[in-house]
Structure formats: structure tokens, C-alpha cells
Amino acid sequence: IDVCTHNVVVVQYRDEGYLVLDGLLSPEECDALRDRMSEITEQMDVPEHCRTQFSTDHDEQLKKQGNADYFITSGDKIRFFFEKGVFDDKGEFIVPKEHSLNKIGHALHAYEPLFKAVTHSPKVQVMTEPSSAKVCESLGLANFLLKEQGSMKCIYIYIIMVFSITFFGTVGGAVLIHGEVVHRSAANTSDASRHVYTFHIMESQNTIWSPENWLQPTEELPFPSLYT
């Protein structure tokens, strides 16, 4: 990529708060991630007390998931969060498992080799300053430097793993969102899945991670350096 194009996309990212990049992963790499996720989903054994549905409403989530302990303590684990209406009154699935999930989080980047390889790939590393970036969480480019000087030094990276008319970009592409941009994903009411692997990268140099953040590093899983 030439210097002029590089400067244009960096300015766009800083001004608009997001950037769409095609071709971060190949279709084959996306297939491999989806296949592994299908295996994880098929093998999942969900404890009865965790068979609750995920909600983005804070108060509702606290009520449904026992003061949110299942969610709050998931930062160093791989746990399952479900859509509404996927269990009967006995906690049994009433839809296929692969259609029941809202998301799986938050440590795929640490414990699943395929997702770890994507997260720490050179194509992701090149967007940051060496040795100063850390991966905060995951739920699943080249020649772009997007180091931020703002008050929140964080990049959200969403990798598109399946075609959807609701997404920007193409399969294998990525949407980068600035850490200061408030963003949300509305409920998927279509018949098509919206498979995305997302992870967050923070600047660690001269940065203090707020103890008020719900996600905290643990002894079992400190935030790993991106350059590992």
C-alpha cells in the first residue's frame, strides 16, 4: 500500500471512528473457524443454573444470571450465552444448539488454537506498536498502523465469517471500531446467522486498566501481549 492511501485510511479511522478492511482472512480460514465453533457448540455441556438467555439489558441480565456472576467471571473462560426463547420451562433446548447461541466468550483467543492464531497473526500485529498492545477479550491489516493517542486506547476488531447483507465488507474482512465509539448490534431477526469473531486490543504502555471495568485480568489468564 502506498503512503498516500495509508494516510487516507488512517485519517478516515480517526475522523469517522471505524474502518472496513477486506481480506484479513481467507474464505478457507473462515471455514476453519466456523467448523471449530460447530464442534465446540456440539460438545457444550451447559450446567442447569447457567441455562439462561443473554440480554444486553443490564438489570435483566443481573436478574437472570444470578447477579451476573456467570457473565462477570467469564473473562478467563469459554462460556455460552443464549438467545431468548431457546429453552423450555425445564431448561431443555427447544431449538438446535447451533441456533441457540447469542455468543461464546470471552477467552477463545487464549484457549482455542485457531482463534489464538488469528488474534496474534502478523496481519493484526501490524496495526499496533510492538510490545505495547494487549488482547483484552474475544467472543472469534496488513500495512495499516492505527495507534491511537486518545483517552481510550482500544480497538475493537470484528472479523466477518459468513456473508450477510447486514454487514459491511465481505467474508474474511474486518470492521475496526475506535474504542471511544459507542456501538451496538441489534437483535438478529432474520433467518440468517451473523457469524463474527471479535476481539479487543488495548494499548498497555502508560495505561492503567480501570478496576471498574467488568472484565479484569486474572492469575489464570492475564491479558496476553498481542506480540506472543
- pLDDT for res 141: 30
Looking up residue 37, the CATH number of its domain turns out to be 2.60.120.620
Q: How many domains does the chain have?
A: 1
Non-local (6+) Cβ contacts of 43 within 8 A are none
User: Does a structural domain hold residue 128?
Assistant: yes
User: Does a structural domain hold residue 215?
Assistant: no
User: Does a structural domain hold residue 213?
Assistant: no
**Sequential pLDDT tens for the chain (228 residues):** 555 667 788 888 889 999 888 899 999 999 999 999 999 999 987 767 666 555 555 555 555 544 478 888 999 999 888 887 888 877 888 988 888 888 898 999 999 999 999 999 998 988 876 667 777 777 743 233 444 444 457 888 888 887 654 556 788 999 899 888 888 777 777 777 778 899 999 988 888 888 888 899 999 999 999 987
DSSP characters over 118-159? HHT-HHHHTTS-TTTEEEEEE---TT------SSS-EEEEEE
Q: How far apart are CA 106 and CA 104, in angstroms?
A: 7
User: Does a structural domain hold residue 216?
Assistant: no
Residue type, position 226, single letter: L
- Residue span of the structural domain in which 141 resides: 3-44+106-203
User: Does a structural domain hold residue 151?
Assistant: yes
